[in-house]
Amino acid sequence: MRKKIIFASAIAGGVVLTAAVAQQLPDQYKQLLELGMHPGYAYLDEGEDYFHNLKGPNGKTCASCHGQDASKLVGAYAHMPRYYKDIGKVADIDIRMLSCMTKYMGFPKSKDFIKKYTKKYRVPLATYVASKSNGMKIDVKLDDPQEKELYKYGEKLWWTRSGARDFSCGICHTVLSDKRIRQQALPNPVRDKLYKHWPTYRYSNDKMWTMEDRVRSCFKAFLLYVNKWDKKKDWIKKPPPYSKEVVAIELYMKHKGNGAIINVPGFIR
Ligand code: HEC
Ligand code: HEC
């Protein structure tokens, strides 16, 4: 039975805001959250619906393999990104789910399907699957050689100055963190283990985002993207979705987040 009342599950959820976020939050949003009306739950519930009811061309649903109420995915998100033997690479939640859809549910690997997945299914499903690790500690292991290598690459990218501004993630988010650019406080995702609240709802654009979206957007917003990573189109200012660079940075940040308690959907500015 799927919940149709969008905000119902929020009441049981409980939202823990980091001090920095609470500080920046307008009063009406604080009240909304206190009432249990977390808009991120609209996405979570939609994801739950897809998980059980979206059928691939071969008739399978996510639940066919991963259990009713995603029972076999409890805790999975706490260890991601990680290496998966069946697809031969390190995957974040977005890539892992897309692979399951094309490899195991019969969806085509076509551009059209990937576009649809990206627009429609990805964020709700990721929110739902991630919520199955709520209350658990982030525990990214780096046992596999591919994981170790990608982690190092992610750390390197974090500090690499690039693009039109010649800035790096680390300058804003480690060196200058806690200071303000215009009105915006610069968060410190590594020290404060902020991965714990991703996927998260952003009230500044009224959308739920996964970490893929956040990392790609910071590349774009701050003109950091180096187009040599994208072989085809040199005008793109975001790394292409599901690219190695994004997963590497995610792996770096999430491993640094080890030990933090997962609580999604988050809620930020
Ligand atoms: C036909 C079976 C099948 C279907 C259907 C399927 N998957 Fe998977 N899924 C797999 C296999 C196999 C793996 C790899 C497991 C491993 O290596 O630990 C996997 C791994 C995953 C993981 C990572 C689990 C972990 O322990 O790290 C997630 C998350 C996931 N799938 C989500 C989904 C979602 C969401 C859907 C529906 C859109 C879906 N899967 C559909 C077979 C399936
Ligand atoms: C010029 C400064 C700047 C640079 C460079 C930058 N960011 Fe950001 N980033 C921001 C700001 C400002 C925010 C907060 C945005 C908001 O509140 O809307 C942010 C938010 C984030 C967050 C969300 C933190 C949270 O609240 O959970 C993450 C994660 C992040 N950035 C990662 C990155 C990564 C990875 C890079 C490098 C590719 C990067 N950023 C580069 C300024 C920057």
What is the set of domains in the chain, with CATH numbers?
Answer: 10-131 (1.10.760.10), 145-268 (1.10.760.10)
Over residues 143-149, the mean pLDDT reads 98
Q: Which ligand sits nearest to residue 238's alpha carbon?
A: 2
Q: Which residue has the higher pLDDT, 14 or 22?
A: 22
Over residues 53-60, the mean pLDDT reads 98
In the predicted structure, residue 94 carries a pLDDT above the cut 90: yes
Predicted confidence at residue 135, as pLDDT, reads: 98
Give distance in angstroms: CA of 77 to centre of ligand 1: 11
Over residues 64-77, the mean pLDDT reads 98
Model pTM? Answer: 0.91
In the predicted structure, residue 10 carries a pLDDT above the cut 70: no
Nearest to 47 by CA among 32, 66, 62: 62
Q: Which ligand sits nearest to residue 226's alpha carbon?
A: 2
Over residues 145-157, the mean pLDDT reads 97
User: What is the band of 99 on the pLDDT scale with cuts at 50, 70, 90?
Assistant: very high
Q: What span, in angstroms and rounded, lies between the C-alpha atoms of 84 and 267?
A: 30
CB 181 near ligand 2, within 6 Å: yes
* pLDDT averaged over every residue in the chain: 88
CB 104 near ligand 1, within 6 Å: yes
Partnered with residue 48 across adjacent β-strands are: none
Predicted confidence at residue 232, as pLDDT, reads: 52
Q: Spell out the residues 6+ positions from residue 127 whose beta carbon is closer than 8 angstroms to its own.
A: 40, 43, 44, 47, 199, 208, 210, 264, 265
In the predicted structure, residue 152 carries a pLDDT above the cut 90: yes
Ligand 2 pocket test, candidate residues 24, 172, 186, 220, most atoms within 8 A of CB = 172
Question: CA–CA distance from 81 to each of 144, 183, 254 (Å)?
Answer: 12, 33, 8
Predicted confidence at residue 234, as pLDDT, reads: 46
Q: Is 65 designated active site?
A: no
Kindly report the protein residue whose alpha carbon is nearest to atom 17 of ligand 2.
269
Helices 244-256, 211-221: crossing angle, 10 deg rounding? 110
User: What is the band of 227 on the pLDDT scale with cuts at 50, 70, 90?
Assistant: low
CB 222 near ligand 2, within 6 Å: yes
> Within the chain, where are the H helices?
10-13, 19-24, 27-34, 40-53, 62-66, 93-104, 111-116, 122-131, 145-159, 169-170, 211-221, 244-256
Question: CA–CA distance from 136 to each of 81, 126, 195, 239, 260 (Å)?
Answer: 16, 16, 13, 31, 8
Q: Which ligand sits nearest to residue 140's alpha carbon?
A: 1
User: What is the band of 6 on the pLDDT scale with cuts at 50, 70, 90?
Assistant: very low
Over residues 40-63, the mean pLDDT reads 98
Over residues 155-177, the mean pLDDT reads 89
Order of strands across the sheet that contains 207-209: 207-209, 200-202, 266-268
Q: Spell out the residues 6+ positions from residue 243 whose beta carbon is closer than 8 angstroms to its own.
A: 229, 230
pLDDT over 90 for what percent of the chain?
69
CB 215 near ligand 2, within 6 Å: yes
Q: Which residue has the higher pLDDT, 43 or 3?
A: 43
Q: Which residue has the higher pLDDT, 94 or 17?
A: 94
Instruction: Give the range among 193-197, 200-204, 249-253 with minimum mean pLDDT.
Output: 200-204
Over residues 149-176, the mean pLDDT reads 90
Predicted confidence at residue 12, as pLDDT, reads: 36
CB 60 near ligand 1, within 6 Å: yes
User: What is the band of 91 on the pLDDT scale with cuts at 50, 70, 90?
Assistant: very high
CB 269 near ligand 2, within 6 Å: yes
Ligand 1 pocket test, candidate residues 86, 100, 127, 247, most atoms within 8 A of CB = 100
